[in-house]
Amino acid sequence: MRKLKNKILWAFVAFLSTTLAVAQSDESLNTDRPDQSEGVYTLPKGQFQVENGLVFSKEEGFDNLMLRYGLITNTEIRLEANFDVKTPDFSSTVFSVKQRLWQSERYLPSVSLIGYGQYSKGEGKAYTFDACLAFESVLADEFSLAYSLSSVQQFEGYNFTTELNYTPTSKFWGFVEYYATYQPHYAPLHNIDVGIAYFLKPNLQLDLSGGRTLFQPEANYFIGVGVGYLFK
């Protein structure tokens, strides 16, 4: 088991090193990581983007990989896979479509709609279909507010997120975020996280994040590290 975990870690390091070597594009990128909120941004037609990250807590460890492609103007398709590095096994696979509905004007926020089709192992339904409405409002030159409401387990429950973003330069941005899950017959799950992202190149992002659960008898802390790369 330990050897397999080491192989996974070295594979991630190799992927990161390769990405650093080939990053030569002058295009900029906009990722949907490392936060929990869905962004409103959609890839331009014909662009392809890879986002990958590792998240570890006391009892769990996951690798999250997302492939994104700009299908047409304001529409992108995405394939996401979550790998449990402690089992090890794939825990879920998600296909989604993101559609930009409205571009921010004056005091109105930008709005996007995301539809998901997910296959999951374990308890609950194997195949589920859910949706998310994502919003983003510009507060000032360096600050923006992102928030989203999404369904889980075939509209049996809901996720809510709200996030304050700070972008002081074109090379760096950070965030603080609150998110919660509400499901029938279960107490709400509340969490908070913070993170930073740094652009080594306009098309290459490295990120670091961490957080914890709230209002629990024993807090669960987690930390994540990841990379995003935009292909021309």
DSSP, residue by residue, 151-211:
EETTTTEEEEEEEEEEEEETTEEEEEEEEEEE-TTS--EEEEEEEEEEEEETTEEEEEEEE
- First vs last Cα of the chain: how many Å apart? 38
> What local confidence, expressed as pLDDT, does residue 13 receive?
39
H/E run at residue 222? strand 221-231
Would the pLDDT of 132 be above 80? yes
Q: Specify the CATH number for the domain of residue 10.
A: 2.40.160.40
**135 is written with which tokens?**
């919003």
Query: Which residues are within 8 A (CB) of 119 and not within 5 positions of it... i.e. 6 or more apart?
Result: 92, 93, 94, 126, 127
Angstrom CA distances, 130 to 44, 77, 142, 219, stand at 24, 15, 32, 29
33-80 pLDDT, tens digit per residue, is 999 999 999 999 999 999 999 999 988 899 999 999 999 999 999 999
Asked if the bond preceding 34 is cis, omega within 30° of 0, the reply is: yes
Query: How many independent structural domains does the chain possess?
Result: 1
Q: What is the pTM of this model?
A: 0.84
CA–CA dist 131, 135 (Å, integer): 14
User: What is the Cα–Cα distance from 180 to 6, expressed in whole angstroms?
Assistant: 32
How much is the pLDDT for 72? 97
* pLDDT confidence bin for 27, thresholds 50/70/90: low
pLDDT digits (tens, 9 = 90+) for 150-174: 999 899 999 999 999 999 999 999 9
Residue 205: give the domain boundaries: 2-231
| CA nearest neighbour of 78 among 40, 51, 112 | 51
The confidence score (pLDDT) of residue 11 equals 43
What is the average pLDDT score of the chain?
Answer: 88
Reported as a pLDDT band with limits 50, 70 and 90, residue 19 is very low
